[in-house]
Amino acid sequence: MKPGDPVPVDPVSMFEPDQDHEPMSWYLIPRPVFRGGNEIELLRGGDALFPAMISAIRNARHEVWLATYIFHDDAAAMAVAVALERAARRGVRVRVVIDGFGAHDDLAVVEPRLRAAGIAVTVFRPLKRWSHWLQPGQLRRLHMKLCVVDGEVGFVGGINVIDDHIDLNHGHTELPRLDFAVRAVGPVVRPMEQAVRAMWSRSWFGRDWQQEMRLLMHTERPVQRLRGLLRQMRLTRRGHRVARLDEAQPPVQAAFVVRDNLRQRRTIERAYIDAIRSARQRIWLICPYFYPGQEFRRALCKAAQRGVQVRLLMQGKPDYRIAAMAARVLYEELMRHGIEIYEYLPAFLHAKVMLVDDHWATVGSSNIDPISLLLNLEANMVVRDVTFAQDLAVEIARALAQSEAITAQRVRSQGWAGLLQRVLIEWAAYVYLRVAGVTGRY
C-alpha cells in the first residue's frame, strides 16, 4: 500500500441485512427484481449528469463509490475529480475504480491526482505492460458507469466521465454526443451500491467475482437467508409471469440489472427480449453498437409483424467504422419485417436506451452487441413508470426528428457488397468471441 491509501475494507462487512428484502436476492435471480418507492430522474448528457453528481458528492457524509470506463482529464471531468477530492479531504471515504483499457491514456494524470487527495483508486485489469495483454480475460472490460453516494443516491447510465464535446478518437466536436443516465433515490440504490462496491473490491483485491460473492453471501443465518431468497424468487417469477406492461404499478418501480460472468450472464439481454415480446404498441430503441444475437433479432421482427411500431436509432456519424458496418449489414433483414431504422446525424451517438409502450424503459451502459451482452461488465436501470417513460419518449422523439430515415432503396443498393460485409462481420464476431473464451452460438 502507498502512503495515504486507506485500509482495505473486509468484503464480508460490506452488506448489512435488509429488513425488507434479502440483500443479494436481486443478484441471485437472473431477471430484473423490481422494487417500488423510488425516485428516478432522466438525465441527458454530461451537462445534466455531472452537476447532479457533483451536488450529491458535495453533500456526501460518509462515502462515495464511483466506477467508470473512461475518466478523462478535460475540464468537465476534472470538475468531478475536484468534488471527489474535496469530499475525501473532509473525511468522506471515496473509492474509485477505472477500467484499464477505457482510460488507458488518462490514468497517468488522473490516478496520481486522485490518490494525492486520499482517494482509494484501483484500475480494473490494467494494461501497463505488454504482458498484461496476454493475461486471460483482458477482452472482458469494466464498462459500467456507476456512482453511489452514502447509499442514498445513485447514478447509472452510458455517460463516461468525459466532456460530451470530446471524442477520444476524433477530438473536439461542435455538438455534444447523445447520451443518457438516470439519478435514483430509493430502495433500488441498494443493489447499485452493492454492485459498485463489488467492482471496486474485485479490482482492489484481485479476486474473481465468484470468489467475492462467496464471501459476500457468508451469513450466520443460512436457513433464514435461504427461505427469504426462495420467497423472493417465487414473487419475482409470479410477477414476471402475470404482470403486463399496461398494469398500474406502485410508484416508481425500478430494477437494477448487471451483466457479469457468474449469475447475471444474460440478465440484461433477457430483460430486453422479455419486454420486446410483451410490447403492444411501440418499441423505440437507441443503440450505437448494434449487432444482436438471433433470439433478439427474432423478437424484434415478430413484434413488428404483429403490428408493434418498432423504431431503431443508430449511428449516422460513426465513431468506429466497423461498428457502424456491423449494424448496417442487418438493415435489410430488419426492414423486411417492417422495422423502421433511423440514423442520428447531428453528432456522435452513445446512448443505450429502450422504451416499450407507455410504461417500460431502460437506460444503461449495455450496447446490443456481443461485446456488451457476452463479455463486458455492464449495468442498466429498468423502470416501469408512466412519467419516466413519457420523459424518455420526448427525448427519443427529439432525436428521431434530427435523424435520417433509412429507405429500402438505400439498403437494396448494397447488393453483393452488403452480403460480403455481413459474412466478414459474422466471421470477425465469431473469432473475437472465441478468443475471449465465449462458446456457443450467438
Q: Which residue is catalytic, options 319, 357, 369, 385?
A: 357
Q: Residues 362-405: pLDDT tens digits? A: 999 999 998 898 899 999 999 999 999 999 999 999 999 999 99
Structure confidence by residue, pLDDT tens digits, 303-324: 999 999 999 999 999 888 777 7
What would the DSSP string read from start to end of 58-111? HT-SSEEEEEES-B--SHHHHHHHHHHHHHHHTT-EEEEEEETTTTTTTHHHHH
Rounded to whole angstroms, how far apart are CA atoms 261 and 217? Answer: 17
Catalytic residue among 99, 150, 164, 385: 150
User: What cell was used for 422?
Assistant: 455481413
pLDDT beyond 50 at 241: no
pLDDT band at 417; cut points 50, 70, 90:
low
The pLDDT value recorded for residue 376 is 93
- The Cα–Cα gap between 220 and 229 comes to 15
| Pair 110, 73: CB distance under 8 Å | yes
The single residue of 145, 163, 164, 260 carrying the catalytic annotation is: 145
At 298, the pLDDT band (50, 70, 90 cuts) reads very high
pLDDT averaged over every residue in the chain: 84
Can 150 be counted among the known catalytic residues? Answer: yes
Confidence of residue 22 (pLDDT cuts 50, 70, 90): low
Domains belonging to the chain, first-starting first, are 11-211 (3.30.870.10), 254-435 (3.30.870.10)
Could you confirm whether 302 is annotated as catalytic? no
* Selected catalytic residue, list 72, 165, 352, 359: 352
The CA distance from 322 to 331, in Å, is 15
Kindly provide the residue ranges of all beta strands, DSSP E only, lying in 240-295, ordered along the sequence. 253-259, 282-286
pLDDT of residue 102: 94
Of the pLDDT bands very low, low, confident and very high (cuts 50, 70, 90), residue 7 is: very low
- Selecting among 143, 359, 369, 391, the annotated active-site residue is 143
